Structure 1
Amino acid sequence: MNHVLHGLAANPSLPPELLDRLITIADTDLSSELAARTDLTPAQLTTLAARGDEIAVQLAYEGRLTADDIDPAAQPYAALALLDEGAGHQEWTPFLATHPTTRVREKLAACPDLPPHVVRTLAADPDIQVVAELALWTTSDTAARLAGHPHAEVRRATAANELTPTTVLEMLITGEGIPPAQRCLVCDREETPFVHESSCQRLDCDLLAGAACDGSHQSTVHEIQRMALLNPATPIDAAVPFADHPSMLLRSALASRPDLPPSVGAQLAKDPIPAVRADLAENPAIDDTVIAVLAADHGHDVQRRLAHNPNVPLDVLADLARATRIGSTLLPRIAAAAPDETAQLAASRAPAVRMLPAQRRDLPTAIRDALAADPDAKVSKSVAPHPGLSDAHLRAMVARHGVQVVAKVATNPDASPALLEELARHQPPVRKVFREIARHPHAPAPALLACLTDERARPLAAAHPNLPPAVIAELLIDNDDRVAEAAASNPSLTPTVMSVASRRFVL
């Protein structure tokens, strides 16, 4: 891989004549890079698409190729991409449905609006994975027919299809009213009884850890039930009996359902496995009684997940902020807080609570400025990226809290070039600040030159358009390939240097 040529291929300032040259000399990897450009002509797109099916697929999904540009016999995956986007020719589908490559038929099975005769062909495919893929994406009527397929893998896919009729999903989850499956992926390949160990060393084995069959296809039946529990179309009355199922995975799937009845939520709140209670905690369907129980739950991740519940009361959320590490994230309940609620949180005596509204980026000026002047470094650090803060506010933060806030101050979109230059010279130095400055659109040349002294910031700075052109040109021969590629992608690189580089760094 030639990193300089790849950088040039991504450079938005690349002159048209150099773009033509790169297309002419490009191998498959470079063609893929070039295909990502938005200034390609139809002729250039056609040329690149012909370099490989992967490139053609990329362009097809981006809507930059039409059905008339593709020959399905030569580029079946590009044809499939267009069909998947609803932009292909339906007359391709019979040919693709009988294609000798299983992966082609499998991808076709996932495409929408297939003709009935093609659906029938795929439903009778000799490879069970093709039929399973059809079952996962097909229409309600076809899903209902495939639910009784003798292979358990097809039933598993049908259980995950949200278009499968509710009555059929109920049969799949309970096993009642439907004949037992005859085969599964395990007994297709192994003599039963068989349990696949997680320590399996066979290179040709793709069975999942724990896959098992003793004639009842138990691991796949378990997956059928889990898929049905996760499927919102499955009737909740058929799902609630799994609240006391021995499988933690099935109880967790039930705990995350948005239609969970309060009584079942209360039962799952007492589940012996913290992971089940954590899934329940984030479920918007739980009521205040269950929320109160989980707020006092010290099981792994339960309180943190509860803090992410959009319906958690603010007083409970404030207690959670004091009790658990939530991290630097805007919680759903905080994002939806009314102005008076936001003001109340910002005025809390607890720094952990003030950090919650500090994550918002639409605060009223008075609240924003007050949090910027907060005596607690974590609060100040949380609000530092907020738009609208003046250089004076940002400098005051740095003077008050020093290295604890320097990197976050550098992320503020309104930080001036002068301030960024000051941050680059901060003593003691903060290594992370160089990466943030190198990403900042306002970063001036002196600050970017300082960023080049940091190994991790160096590629970012090399791509920054405010870096002097002479320095960019020198970086084209940097020992670090990432830096050389970034420099070649820099839009401030002069056309003359680009021309020389396109000839010097030949493939």
Structure 2
Amino acid sequence: MPALLHAVARNPALPPELLGRMIARLTDTDEELACALAERTDLDLRQVRLLAERFEDAAVRLAERGLLPVGDVDPLARPRVALILLDEGRGDPAWAPLFARDPDEPVRARLASAVGLPEEVAALLAADGSDDVVSELALHTTGSDLLARLAAHPAAQVRRSAAANEATPAELLTALLDDPEVTVREQAAANPATPGAAAARLVADHMLIRQALATHPGLPAGTYHRLAGDEIPWVRSNLARNPGIDAALMSRLAEDDGHDVRRLLAHHPAVPFDLLARLAAAVRIGPTLLPRIAAAAPAELRALAAAPEPRVRMLVAEHRALPTDLRDRLAADADASVVKSVAPHPGLGGVQLATVLDRFGTKVATAVARNPGAPTALLDRIATTSPTPVKALRAIAAHPNASPAALAACLTSPDPRATEAAAANPALPVAVMAELAYP
């Protein structure tokens, strides 16, 4: 029941009187409920202050959302909240030196990750006795002079953070490629700001470094081809999603049956369509909109949609901005997997969705329920047809067109995700909200 109470607290249609009652009845053990209430958009300033005063986690969330006045924050009593405000440029600059000297190491580390720190504060943190604090600074600072100092720090942990920071100057990153510690070289090899020609010299280094190097987008073509022959499949998997590889290398990787190589190649934004069609037939890609499909021109989508392989047509069907005639053709496809993929398309009408449901039943029920334009009567039909797929109830529970009757069916589901979504649905009757909140 606490989960349903929290869901009701997030319900946008919660009436003001019930909202006020929930806030008034909070106890000191209701931190999670207070955080749920802190997500609301209809809190007045008095309610914001009540939540923030009693519950620190709620105060943090209210500060992140910009609802908590800076003048209400005591930096000594609520350092987490003050640090958020500082990081967003809304806090009092005088707080930063206080936190740099705070005895609590996590406070100093959180400050070190803030952007735009004054030079004197950054200098204090750079001299901190905790490597964790200095590492946070090395990872987030943009000061080149400070990064030069941190890149030469005696602690490998700090040098590793400097090697991962894309603001670190190229000459420093090049020097870090020769660091005695593997983890430092690994970070420098993966950093896209590291000159590719310099990073390429690590092509025969430790396995972890080769895995990192395979993600670098600016290596010479010859280095990519050498990595494509690496004995470690994870090296080749990383290479398959690298934006810097060319079509010839993609063709080579499309024949690679190593762990996840071909599946990740299918997600490459520049994979040629002929390779994508081969990959769709060879590996399980699943119901997802691939980057190459999302960027395709209408003529390209039509060509793919005419493929004899259903798994290729299914990829096109995941696109949510298809030309009308192409969308309708896919909705009439003979293959259930294709229809299932296109069913959530927002352009499909109620009659088309009902026809889809008539043809394939429970195979497409969840996909139909996910369509933002699914009419109430169709959602009622799915909710009351036995057996109703659990995922279909989840979709109905969150649907803006769900009826109170359908939501009642969702509330009786054994699936907690369905019941919580129903409790947060604005269509839920106020009387039911009140009963769930205070039975």
- The one of 198, 202, 206 aligned to 1:242: 202
Cα drift, residue 45 of structure 1:
2.3
In the other structure, the counterpart of 1:156 is: 160
- The one of 142, 146, 149 aligned to 2:150: 146
| Closer/same/farther in 2, CA of residues 62 and 280 from structure 1, 3 Å limit | same
Cα drift, residue 9 of structure 1:
3.9
CA distance in 2, matches of 1:156, 1:124: 17
CA distance in 1, matches of 2:252, 2:94: 59
Q: Is the 8 A contact 2:34 2:58 kept in 1?
A: yes
Cα offsets for 1:288-338 (capped at 9, x unmatched): 111111111111211111111111110111111111111101111111111
Bigger relative contact order, structure 1 or 2 (CA pairs below 8 A, ≥6 apart) = 1
Cα drift, residue 3 of structure 1:
5.8
In the other structure, the counterpart of 2:308 is: 349
What amino acid does structure 1 have at the position aligned with 2:109? Answer: E
- Higher alpha-carbon Rg: 1
Cα offsets for 1:11-40 (capped at 9, x unmatched): 444454554454444235143333222222
| Closer/same/farther in 2, CA of residues 374 and 82 from structure 1, 3 Å limit | same
Q: Percent identity, aligned pairs only? A: 51
In the other structure, the counterpart of 2:66 is: 63
SS in 2 for 1:229: helix
CA distance in 2, matches of 1:119, 1:299: 46
In the other structure, the counterpart of 1:330 is: 289
In the alignment, is residue 460 of structure 1 matched against residue 417 of structure 2?
Answer: no
In the other structure, the counterpart of 2:186 is: 226
SS in 1 for 2:99: helix
Stretch deviating more after TM superposition (363-372 or 247-256)? 247-256
Question: TM-score, normalising length from structure 1?
Answer: 0.80
In the other structure, the counterpart of 2:348 is: 389
In the other structure, the counterpart of 2:125 is: 122
In the other structure, the counterpart of 1:41 is: 44
| Closer/same/farther in 2, CA of residues 273 and 439 from structure 1, 3 Å limit | same
CA distance in 2, matches of 1:87, 1:468: 40
Cα offsets for 1:55-95 (capped at 9, x unmatched): 33222222122432222122222111111111112112222
How do 1:249-328 and structure 2 match up within 5 A? 249-328=208-287
Cα offsets for 1:400-424 (capped at 9, x unmatched): 2232212212211222122222223
What amino acid does structure 1 have at the position aligned with 2:44? Answer: T
In structure 1, stretches of 5+ residues that fail to align are: 176-217, 477-483, 489-500
Cα drift, residue 439 of structure 1:
2.2
Q: Is the 8 A contact 1:335 1:360 kept in 2?
A: yes
What amino acid does structure 2 have at the position aligned with 1:64? Answer: L
Q: Is the 8 A contact 1:66 1:87 kept in 2?
A: no
CA distance in 1, matches of 2:85, 2:429: 44
Q: Is the 8 A contact 2:127 2:134 kept in 1?
A: yes
Cα drift, residue 371 of structure 1:
0.6
CA distance in 2, matches of 1:454, 1:325: 31
Question: TM-score, normalising length from structure 2?
Answer: 0.91
Q: Is the 8 A contact 1:174 1:238 kept in 2?
A: no
SS in 1 for 2:137: helix
- The one of 101, 104, 119 aligned to 1:98: 101
What amino acid does structure 1 have at the position aligned with 2:358? Answer: A
Provide the aligned C-alpha RMSD in A: 2.3
In the alignment, is residue 113 of structure 1 matched against residue 116 of structure 2?
Answer: yes
Q: Is the 8 A contact 1:278 1:301 kept in 2?
A: yes
| Closer/same/farther in 2, CA of residues 147 and 67 from structure 1, 3 Å limit | same
Cα offsets for 1:447-505 (capped at 9, x unmatched): 334434431134433444445555555xx3xxxxxxx4xxx3xxxxxxxxxxxx4xxx7
Q: How many residues align?
A: 433
Stretch deviating more after TM superposition (450-459 or 139-148)? 450-459
Cα offsets for 1:340-367 (capped at 9, x unmatched): 1111111111111111111101111111
CA distance in 2, matches of 1:404, 1:241: 52
Q: Is the 8 A contact 2:383 2:393 kept in 1?
A: yes
Q: Is the 8 A contact 2:7 2:424 kept in 1?
A: no
| Closer/same/farther in 2, CA of residues 278 and 22 from structure 1, 3 Å limit | same
| Closer/same/farther in 2, CA of residues 224 and 57 from structure 1, 3 Å limit | same
Q: Is the 8 A contact 2:365 2:382 kept in 1?
A: yes
Q: Is the 8 A contact 2:73 2:81 kept in 1?
A: yes
- The one of 127, 134, 139 aligned to 2:137: 134
Q: Is the 8 A contact 2:199 2:219 kept in 1?
A: no
Cα drift, residue 272 of structure 1:
0.8
CA distance in 2, matches of 1:439, 1:88: 37
How do 1:365-404 and structure 2 match up within 5 A? 365-404=324-363
